[in-house]
Amino acid sequence: MALKAVHVSDVPNLDQVPENASLALYSTRFSKGVDVGRGGIKIPKFLVIGHRGSGMNMLQSSDRRMKAMKENSVLSFNAAAKFAVDFIEFDVQVTKDDCPVIFHDNFILSEDNGTVYEKRVTELSLSEFLCYGPQREPGKVGKTLLRKTKDGQILSWNVEKDDPLCTLEEAFHKVSPSVGFNIELKLDDHIVYQQEHLIHVVQAILKVVFEHDKDRPIIFSTFQPDAALLVRKLQSTYPVFFLTNGGTEIYYDVRRNSLDEAMKLCLQGGLQGIVSEVKGIFRNPGAIPKIKEAKLSLLTYGKLNNVPEAVYMQHLMGVEGVIVDLVQEIAEAVSYMIKPSMEEGEEEVLGKGEGQIQVKAKPQFSERELSFLLKLIPELMQL
């Protein structure tokens, strides 16, 4: 299939609000809100975003937390909302009958009479999609749900707390209004999408968002450069972030291969920010001041974001938020991290009596020490 880039100038503008309207996103957890304007967006605090809700499922992991509850489900979203998270991140695809559904993998795997088969999510109707996994109707049994790991293993999708698959509209109605939505447009890296198809997908998602958002804070993101440009072209109400591996993986589309390319795409298309794999930031910390100078916001994702020290280091470096799997642990660590500094060696005591918990003061770095760490981190990341 020949590559056909999307020409956003050819796409009609479908903004739902006048250009000069006052645009602002807010969350009950934000002190001042996330302001959206022509000069980018202003994030007043360090954001914690729950990855696929309260964390992705890693079925092959020995860590029970990675299999606690079904990812990308209403159950997982509301579980994350109980902690100090600002947004939950999830993946949206559009079925063949134009319904935006929440699911990460491009294919659904199941088993019939001992034979494993797979079907592309976007080639299923909504009713077919919802037939997999646990069902909402009492007594109804859904089709077995399997999952293929990166190394090719096929495992039963068993978690401690399961939940039915859900639609984007359902999430708007059933998920706590205390959290914003980071909606990732999930597209297949191995498909070259035609312009008309991308427009159709984006419009189907935007229709649901505008009809059901009820002032919920929303951020759009995607790894697909043309889709990112389209979402920005078709609306100006919500910020659009470009997802990138930050140079940790190489793709045919050069726009995906570095933070510099990501920044260039954002500036050319009027996007508001970048979401980078955290290793891309640690390997190239010099990109952060450039991103800041360009008035773009910067968030990160990746396994290192489940390490409190790595999150704290990003806070010092100027990253504005992290997408995490271990929601409770990182949310609590960040809540201590952003408190006024205590004296070195001093400890804070929480609770009373036998329930007391001692919280160590966050580490303090001089400018010289911080400069040394910033130089050292890229070297460590190559090991």
Question: Which residue shows structure tokens 């749900």?
Answer: 145
Please say if the pLDDT value at position 28 is more than 80.
Answer: no
Which residue do the tokens 């935006």 mark? 100
Laid out side by side, the sheet with 24-25 consists of: 24-25, 34-37, 40-42
Contact indicator for 262, 228 with CB cutoff of 8 Å: no
- Domains of the chain, start order: 47-104+165-338+366-381 (3.20.20.190)
Q: What's the token pair of residue 59?
A: 């079925």
Instruction: Return the closest-CA partner of residue 49 out of 80, 26, 91.
Output: 80
- Would you state the torsion angle of the CA atoms of residues 20, 240, 339, 358, taken in this order, to the nearest 10 degrees? 150
Residue type, 223: F
Can you read off the two tokens belonging to residue 311?
Answer: 């999150």
pLDDT in tens, 265-315: 999 999 999 999 999 999 999 999 999 999 999 999 999 999 998 999 999
Angle of helix 308-317 versus helix 327-337 axis, rounded to 10: 40
Sign (positive or negative) of CA dihedral 119, 122, 123, 125: positive
Contact of 54 with 76, CB cutoff 8 Å: yes
Name the pLDDT band for 43 (thresholds 50, 70, 90): confident
Span 210-247, pLDDT tens digits: 999 999 999 999 999 999 999 999 999 999 999 999 99
pTM attached to this predicted model: 0.83
Whether residue 44 has pLDDT greater than 90: no
